[in-house]
Chains A and B, each alone.
Chain A
């Protein structure tokens, strides 16, 4: 069978033993930490419910919250720009950087800027982007796309990182001790922080009431970026709002415990517009749609926009932990990527293999801090793909034939008998080890043939 999309990329990734080992170790560690951090909270289920309720409320009234946010940002001395898509957002940012007279920007780790390919867009305008998150820096130096939402370089182990640093930013005798590796990155980045005139960030949250923007992080690189440069540009998806500052308390508990397995993340930066004499004196927010309003229009799919990018679903997904993030061919990998990317880019498009990259085991739903019913959305997206006839023709025919057989017990019983006769030449001692058309199954495992006596045949003999 010819494979394209996720199945083809996964097949390749599954052959990479180094990758499998790196992923199993890293996801296993984060999973344990998360489980411990979550078990500490007797009110975890109430917190999840509160997080979901808040996010869904914002989505229901998004139009008014966005306008409220815009007014508040401008009242506090900031500027708001609206971007319909990736290109519009990229050109706004490029123009702002040029107006600030800069040719280099430091960047806070951000999924949204990755989604719009901002670094590539800025590079095309002659602006160099320096990723300041350690793992993002590793990916940038290696020329690899990130492969995990929280841990973008999860596909690399420390020996691979040592070799990379030796080639790029480190001394030739650098060891693979995490401390030494971090120090090499620190020295490299410190120079960039001190010289940069413009920083670009994403946003974990925007507060509608006050116009405040919030970034949570672990390394302090974000704090440098949001305080040192003269100009700060934040690219934020329109779904990132919360109504008021108090609402953040729910997410400040849900997010670190779900993502890094910590009670609290080391750095939480929250700023409101511009403060004369303190921090950036120019502040811009680019509010990005890029498909989000069409996600919002889908009654089942819209809960996807409640995602707070914790990545807990990746670490428990039996598919992700074996294939890694690159197989998804999408900035957002794992279960959340499998529902978000096809909705943002259109279900019939390149990402149409993603909703099938799941066994529907439900582990993602169980850990999601805002209770996104990922299996339900996956199934819903599959039905949209089928409705648009974007799936395989062979499958469509097989499903139609089976539906016809199941629609009538006599036809169903004839189909059973036909299956029994067709399988007979292939069955040895109650097992079929090769069956044409079902090679995808029998390549790896035996198949049970149709029973000599089906249950209903036995029932009639009683």
Chain B
């Protein structure tokens, strides 16, 4: 199939390895990957921070850029959540825009939804010999309701030891501008998440969103824990080591 990648602005800019991994997985599975270079940002940050007008303009742009795509995949539960949950509230009586959103939304998938749900896969041919714990992000859990899709994909990875994260459903404290506007509270929430990650004894903490990993990884690195983060896509793309 032809799959169009929405890499997301954050992954493109600070975590390109996750985007590259999505391309490797899909090509290994025999799909054709397309990347429209006109894409930028879905508008999540602006919309969540209350900059609706700016966010709406970015949503319009997104809809235009991906209008011809058969399937859109993004390595981010929160960006897909934005498209699915917030875009339909943005038309403001513009019927053409409402229609474009309605036809696009069902074709946009988060990576684990695409692989485990749409494609019905569990084993995507990965090998990753590490002890891994998975943080289900708030958007994958409560907006996309991805359920056990990421766990099923991870369990099928060769040589991977999956360890359960205590208090897994708790937020990591990122929350976009929240991390800066309420930095103290964000850091307090993060501290508990990091404690839970360390309690698992995992070498790698994974999730389906670069933003949460930026937060969790930032603390794991600051505290010199020796535990690293890797996007779910990187693990599913790995072929050993």
Contacts of A318 in B (CB 8 A): 170-171, 173, 189
Inter-chain contact A386/B51, CB cutoff 8 Å: yes
Q: Is A30 an interface residue (CB 8 A)?
A: no
Inter-chain contact B180/A419, CB cutoff 8 Å: no
Q: Is B79 an interface residue (CB 8 A)?
A: no
**CA–CA, A131 and B134, complex, Å:** 48
- Looking at B41-49, B95-103, B111-119, B148-156, the stretch in contact with chain A turns out to be B41-49
Known A-B contacts A448-B14, A448-B217; A458 and B20 likewise in contact (beta carbons under 8 Å): yes
Inter-chain contact B185/A453, CB cutoff 8 Å: no
Residue-wise interface mask of A (427-462) relative to B, using a CB-CB cutoff of 8 A (1 in contact, 0 not): 000010100001011011111111101111111000
Inter-chain contact B175/A409, CB cutoff 8 Å: no
Known A-B contacts A366-B142, A403-B54; A6 and B182 likewise in contact (beta carbons under 8 Å): yes
Question: For chain B, what secondary structure do more than half of its interface residues adopt (helix, strand, loop), or is it mixed?
Answer: helix
Q: Is A406 an interface residue (CB 8 A)?
A: yes
Residue-wise interface mask of B (154-184) relative to A, using a CB-CB cutoff of 8 A (1 in contact, 0 not): 0000000000000001110111111111111
**CA–CA, A385 and B171, complex, Å:** 25
Contacts of B180 in A (CB 8 A): 438, 440-441
Inter-chain contact B222/A433, CB cutoff 8 Å: yes
**CA–CA, A448 and B141, complex, Å:** 25
- Looking at B5-13, B66-74, B120-128, B199-207, the stretch in contact with chain A turns out to be B5-13
Closest chain A CB from B111 CB (angstroms): 14
Inter-chain contact A362/B40, CB cutoff 8 Å: no
Inter-chain contact B51/A383, CB cutoff 8 Å: yes
Inter-chain contact A14/B184, CB cutoff 8 Å: yes
Known A-B contacts A407-B61, A454-B16; A444 and B190 likewise in contact (beta carbons under 8 Å): yes
Known A-B contacts A406-B40, A451-B15, A458-B16; A400 and B219 likewise in contact (beta carbons under 8 Å): no
Inter-chain contact B39/A409, CB cutoff 8 Å: yes
Residues 310-359 of A at the B interface (beta carbon under 8 Å): 318-319, 322-323, 355-359
Inter-chain contact B58/A431, CB cutoff 8 Å: no
Inter-chain contact A360/B178, CB cutoff 8 Å: yes
Closest chain B CB from A321 CB (angstroms): 9
Inter-chain contact B37/A360, CB cutoff 8 Å: no
Inter-chain contact A400/B54, CB cutoff 8 Å: yes
Known A-B contacts A322-B189, A403-B46; A356 and B20 likewise in contact (beta carbons under 8 Å): no
We find that the number of chain B residues with CB closer than 8 angstroms to chain A is 64
**CA–CA, A405 and B58, complex, Å:** 11
**CA–CA, A6 and B142, complex, Å:** 26
Inter-chain contact B178/A454, CB cutoff 8 Å: no
Q: Is B29 an interface residue (CB 8 A)?
A: no
Q: Is A291 an interface residue (CB 8 A)?
A: no
Contacts of B16 in A (CB 8 A): 451, 453-455, 457-458
Inter-chain contact B185/A323, CB cutoff 8 Å: yes
Q: Is B218 an interface residue (CB 8 A)?
A: yes
**CA–CA, A376 and B47, complex, Å:** 11
By a beta-carbon cutoff of 8 Å, the part of chain A in contact with chain B is 6-7, 10-11, 14, 318-319, 322-323, 355-363, 365-366, 376, 379, 381-387, 391, 395, 399-400, 402-403, 405-409, 412, 416, 419, 431, 433, 438, 440-441, 443-451, 453-459
Given contact pairs A10-B182, A379-B50, enumerate 18 new A-B contacts (beta carbons under 8 Å).
Answer: A318-B171, A319-B182, A322-B189, A355-B50, A358-B175, A358-B178, A360-B175, A361-B171, A361-B175, A379-B48, A395-B49, A403-B51, A405-B40, A438-B180, A441-B179, A445-B221, A448-B217, A454-B13
By a beta-carbon cutoff of 8 Å, the part of chain B in contact with chain A is 7, 9, 11-16, 19-20, 35, 37-41, 43, 45-52, 54, 57-58, 61, 86, 89, 138-139, 141-143, 169-171, 173-190, 214-215, 217-219, 221-222
13 pairs of residues in contact across A and B, judged by CB atoms under 8 Å: A11-B184, A14-B185, A319-B185, A362-B141, A387-B52, A395-B49, A395-B181, A399-B49, A403-B54, A440-B180, A446-B219, A455-B12, A455-B19
